Structure 1
Amino acid sequence: MRLTLPAALTVTALTCGSLLAAAPATAAPPGNPNHDVIANLFEWNWDSVAEECAGVLGPNGFGGVQVSPPQESASLPQYDHPWWEVYQPVSYELTSRLGDRAEFAAMVAACDAAGVDVYVDAVINHMTGQNDGGTGYGGSTFPDKYTYDGLYSRQDFHSYPEDCPNPAGEVWDYDNQTEVQNCELLGLADLKTGDVSVRDRIAGYLNDLVSMGVDGFRIDAAKHMPAADIGAIADRLPEDVYLFQEVIPGGAVRLAPYQDNGDLLEFTYGHKLKEQFEGDIANLRTFGKRWDLQPSEKSVTFIDNHDTERNGSTLSYKDGDTYTLANVFSLAWGYGSPQVFSGYAFTERDESPPAEDSGHVTDAECASGAWTCFHREQAMLGMVGWHNAAAHLPVRNWWSDGSDVIAFSKGKRGFVTINNSNSPLTRTFATGLPEGSYPDVIGGGEVSVDASGNAKITVPAMDAVAIHR
């Protein structure tokens, strides 16, 4: 679509809309409820996240940042340090391939100073899957996947066939809830989260992070723990800690019980938008709960995450302009609390993020092309301000060509038109905005709105135009 703006420009030029927001967003993370967009900086190290909060996220109106798991994980040079190392904890010490405890604390403080809440990806369902043991990034050693000195031993894990009905010990049948929640996900040692002692240790880890200023948690693999177990752990945390849970739809596990614990990551949202943006976006006029989505007020929505960009179930940065337009729609439509995902470029599914030979992740250098830095795209920075100003308002002035081009306003504060076709379109749109000249926050330039609220706009092919008060 369009090139990334230099950081110096984004800090000063695209924040004015966020100052005008006045009503609560649909979901309820902490902090400013009008600034609920979360930047998901997958596998960014702590120094890079700190710099991004201060220089880009805070100044451009992002309300939160999701960071990758910070606890010590297994170091797996034999697999070339795959991205999933960080999802194999060996302790709750804050020494990881992303940085140490002091760097993590400095990152949290920098984000807090920038007005950006920090949400940690919390791996609490399991430990490692390394049968023969190994060594963690902080130097912790473990003889096997069920023994972690001073933390957990064999009795703290589900066993088979006592707890797990599958004699192989792993989750195979997703229509069997006991198997899903008591067997091992991908061979990872499954913690007995129903035991008081295990809950206490997990809560101790999470409360340590909260004491450092962390505002909330993405609960990894929440589907593989009973909702009541997560609730019991949440009861051990301060009441204002924000939780959103990874509960992928399908099989025997129902989503509704998890809503009592907090919000849910809305997977169907990204799947449906992939279908529409690869087909007919005119259908999006009714996009919402009737599309089998979770309620808006309980949803954290996303176009893609680290799993779905690898399995192809959603759009990803590899889809170019189509991906950008789907994210523009997401930020404008205002369903749930939206995430914008930035990871790193990859060709192989298990590929490591850019790292030293030791596995420690290098700084996120956006100009290198190794990191996607999608949240810095001009369209994203502009639409975060647009979202903060207008997305919470009702849809008005819907228009479509019946296929590839749509337009709508949000109350009298924002207007957007999206052209998902290979040809430009020029027409006069009802914007719903008062008379005046408004900057296009996506492409630059000005849009003149007349006394009737109409504006003649040319929307380039595979592009969008967005204005707001």
Structure 2
Amino acid sequence: MPLPAYALAVALAATSVVPAAGAMTAPAAPEPAAAPEPAAAPEPAAAPVAGPIVQMFQWPWDSIAQECRSTLGPKGFGAVQVSPPQEHVRLDGEDHPWYQDYQPVSYQLESRRGNREQFAAMVSACNDAGVQIYADAVVNHMAASDAIGSAGTTHEKYVYPGLYSDADFHDCRRDIANYDDKDEVRNCELVGLSDLATESDYVRSAEQAYLNDLISLGVSGFRVDGVKHMPPEDVGAIFGGLDEVPGTGARPYVFQEVIADQATSAGEYAGNGDVTEFAYHHEVSEAFKNGSLAGLEDVADHMTLPSEQAVVFIDNHDTQRSEPTLTYKDGTAYDLANAFMLAFPYGTPQLISGFAFDDPDAGPPADSEGRTSPASCSDQAWVCEHARPIIAGMAGFHREVQGAELTNWWDDGSGRVAFGRGDAGFVVLNREDAAIEQQSFQTSLPAGTYCDVMSGSLQDGSCTGGAVDVNEDGWLTTSVPANSGVALHAGAKLS
């Protein structure tokens, strides 16, 4: 069975050794507290935000803080998934590829994106803007080789000073060879990465100390990396015992990356929190790539997870590089697929906003030392998918229609669909190469004039883009250009 893209990428660096000359060894981390007595994990927290999650892939902390204030909060995004904040290996000889960040060296908050103070300031700024922070949590493994970390920590494989020693890792010291063998998938090494013994009380308490440190800074949740490489009970024990998010009385939101296959189902992990539904990416991305949208009315029936436990996406940092059915490089087809995801009532949508690349291993824009350059949507090196007009407008649509049922489905049997979300919103998507000319659609919207949020917004009592009238019987008549769309919602209705 083929390995995930991350696994294939890490294989290139699994034997890399970074010179430690001149490096200073980081201070030893404090001993983690003794693990508490095992107890039943509380019920997993539901997604606590109305707006979508956006993965700001490899963005530095200072840049995310600014983007929360200027764009993400005002546009209605609910949460940002940030790249792993812990100290990671430095693969200087590999030109600092993106995947080095998924090889922890210690749990110090010192990465190529910034230090602890910058991370805390970013969390505070985003929370103040109404945007929660979810950290990408790497708890299955540590770095693959002897090297130096982003905070200066020198280490050997299986020996991470002040944190883990040889006894804290599984005895299977070889790569996973048979992905149909569940025990091997969970206990052997993912292309050389030191596989932590997550059944160990010590390992669990060390990881909880790290995650609770992030929570103490205001982090509201976690995306858990590589979950199928850990037993469900280990994941539940680690994340089920975390602290409440300060000032909320709520447990952190958890969603788990599970690339399901014959040996591992997504449902095995649903008791711990939400789970990524990779089948959605395949079906919806393929439909918009080929322009065959009519069958998407029943897409939820083809999924393995119930809507309330599924996290869905058109692409993420792995699929962009390994299964690029649709990515930012596909233009409007990609934008419309994301618009569908943000409008259709299935799952919690997750977007991505990253950097431009041709080499799938390439790291983000950086200086000569590998420190990530400031991210800005005015810099073409950063793609800023979240700021594209269709996607940015549909973030607010998604927030506005939460909880409203699917209504008034229409399709032409091919590449044109329209549907409503009760009396809260209505969307028309045209993936054909010809325009829809003055087509009438039945909606459940109240009568009035609405701004088309795919082409603009409601500002100061007027529409910056198109506007559409809905009559007293709920009908609207509009034209939709080729490969375009129209979206109306109650929050963008003229008074």
TM-score (normalizing by structure 1) = 0.89
Q: Which has the higher contact order (CA 8 A, sep 6+)?
A: 1
Structure 1 residue identity aligned to 2:86: Q
Residues of 1 paired with 2:286 and 2:117: CA distance?
Answer: 44
Counterpart residue number, 1:159: 171
Is the 2:267–2:304 contact (alpha carbons within 8 Å) kept by the matching residues of 1?
no
Asked whether 1:304 is paired with 2:322, we answer no
Counterpart residue number, 2:158: 146
Asked whether 1:467 is paired with 2:488, we answer yes
Q: Judging changes above 3 Å, is the alpha-carbon distance between structure 1 residues 405 and 391 closer, same or farther for their aligned structure 2 residues?
A: farther
Partner of 1:315, secondary structure, is coil
Structure 2 residue identity aligned to 1:465: V
Q: Residue deviations 1:134-176, cap 9 Å, x none?
A: 111111001x21111111111111123xxx7xxxx11121110
Is the 1:128–1:189 contact (alpha carbons within 8 Å) kept by the matching residues of 2?
yes
Residues of 1 paired with 2:309 and 2:323: CA distance?
Answer: 25
- Report deviation, 1:72: 0.5
Structure 1 residue identity aligned to 2:107: Y
Asked whether 1:394 is paired with 2:409, we answer no
Is the 1:331–1:391 contact (alpha carbons within 8 Å) kept by the matching residues of 2?
no
Counterpart residue number, 2:358: 347
Counterpart residue number, 2:326: 315
Residues of 1 paired with 2:198 and 2:489: CA distance?
Answer: 47
In the alignment, which of 97, 118, 121 is matched to residue 103 of structure 1?
A: 118
In the alignment, which of 46, 63, 81 is matched to residue 78 of structure 2?
A: 63
Residues of 1 paired with 2:95 and 2:171: CA distance?
Answer: 30
Is the 2:140–2:227 contact (alpha carbons within 8 Å) kept by the matching residues of 1?
yes
Counterpart residue number, 2:222: 217
Residues of 1 paired with 2:122 and 2:374: CA distance?
Answer: 13
**C-alpha RMSD over aligned residues:** 1.3
- Report deviation, 1:320: 1.0
Structure 2 residue identity aligned to 1:360: R
- Report deviation, 1:407: 0.5
Counterpart residue number, 1:416: 427
Residues of 2 paired with 1:385 and 1:274: CA distance?
Answer: 22
**What aligned pairs does 1:285-304 form with structure 2 within 5 A after superposition?**
285-288=297-300, 290-304=301-315
Residues of 1 paired with 2:396 and 2:379: CA distance?
Answer: 26
Counterpart residue number, 2:234: 229
Asked whether 1:134 is paired with 2:147, we answer yes
Structure 1 residue identity aligned to 2:133: V
Asked whether 1:436 is paired with 2:454, we answer no
Q: Residue deviations 1:381-427, cap 9 Å, x none?
A: 21111111124311111111110100111111211000001111121
Partner of 1:185, secondary structure, is coil
Residues of 2 paired with 1:269 and 1:89: CA distance?
Answer: 30
Asked whether 1:453 is paired with 2:458, we answer no
Q: Which aligned segments of 4 or more residues in structure 1 are displaced greater than 4 angstroms?
A: none
Residues of 1 paired with 2:213 and 2:377: CA distance?
Answer: 31
Structure 1 residue identity aligned to 2:235: I
Structure 2 residue identity aligned to 1:262: G
Counterpart residue number, 1:192: 197
Worse-superposed segment, 274-283 or 223-232: 274-283
Worse-superposed segment, 317-326 or 246-255: 246-255
Partner of 2:400, secondary structure, is helix
Counterpart residue number, 2:6: none
Worse-superposed segment, 333-342 or 190-199: 333-342
TM-score (normalizing by structure 2) = 0.85
Q: Residue deviations 1:211-242, cap 9 Å, x none?
A: 11111111100110001001111232025111
Structure 2 residue identity aligned to 1:333: F
- Report deviation, 1:75: 0.8
**What aligned pairs does 1:199-214 form with structure 2 within 5 A after superposition?**
199-214=204-219
Is the 2:436–2:479 contact (alpha carbons within 8 Å) kept by the matching residues of 1?
yes
**What aligned pairs does 1:44-59 form with structure 2 within 5 A after superposition?**
44-59=59-74
Is the 2:266–2:304 contact (alpha carbons within 8 Å) kept by the matching residues of 1?
no
Partner of 1:187, secondary structure, is coil
Residues of 2 paired with 1:217 and 1:330: CA distance?
Answer: 21
Asked whether 1:247 is paired with 2:258, we answer yes
Identity among equivalent pairs (%):
48
Partner of 1:455, secondary structure, is strand
Structure 2 residue identity aligned to 1:98: R
**What aligned pairs does 1:261-272 form with structure 2 within 5 A after superposition?**
261-272=272-283
Residues of 2 paired with 1:268 and 1:300: CA distance?
Answer: 11
Partner of 1:367, secondary structure, is coil
Counterpart residue number, 2:15: none
Residues of 1 paired with 2:65 and 2:71: CA distance?
Answer: 10
Is the 2:266–2:276 contact (alpha carbons within 8 Å) kept by the matching residues of 1?
no
- Report deviation, 1:79: 0.1
In the alignment, which of 391, 394, 398 is matched to residue 383 of structure 1?
A: 394
Counterpart residue number, 1:333: 344
Asked whether 1:180 is paired with 2:185, we answer yes
Partner of 1:331, secondary structure, is helix
Residues of 2 paired with 1:283 and 1:307: CA distance?
Answer: 26
Is the 2:223–2:257 contact (alpha carbons within 8 Å) kept by the matching residues of 1?
yes
Q: Residue deviations 1:314-336, cap 9 Å, x none?
A: 41111111100100000000211
Residues of 2 paired with 1:352 and 1:405: CA distance?
Answer: 38
Partner of 2:450, secondary structure, is strand
Counterpart residue number, 1:39: 54
Q: Residue deviations 1:181-209, cap 9 Å, x none?
A: 00001110100001110111011100110
Is the 2:289–2:326 contact (alpha carbons within 8 Å) kept by the matching residues of 1?
no
Aligned residues: 429
Residues of 2 paired with 1:64 and 1:365: CA distance?
Answer: 19
Is the 1:396–1:411 contact (alpha carbons within 8 Å) kept by the matching residues of 2?
yes
Residues of 1 paired with 2:61 and 2:89: CA distance?
Answer: 18
Residues of 2 paired with 1:325 and 1:381: CA distance?
Answer: 12
Is the 1:386–1:468 contact (alpha carbons within 8 Å) kept by the matching residues of 2?
yes
Counterpart residue number, 1:18: none
Residues of 2 paired with 1:376 and 1:58: CA distance?
Answer: 12
Residues of 2 paired with 1:397 and 1:334: CA distance?
Answer: 13
Partner of 1:58, secondary structure, is helix
Structure 1 residue identity aligned to 2:154: T
Worse-superposed segment, 72-81 or 447-456: 447-456
Is the 1:176–1:251 contact (alpha carbons within 8 Å) kept by the matching residues of 2?
no
Structure 2 residue identity aligned to 1:376: A
Partner of 2:136, secondary structure, is strand
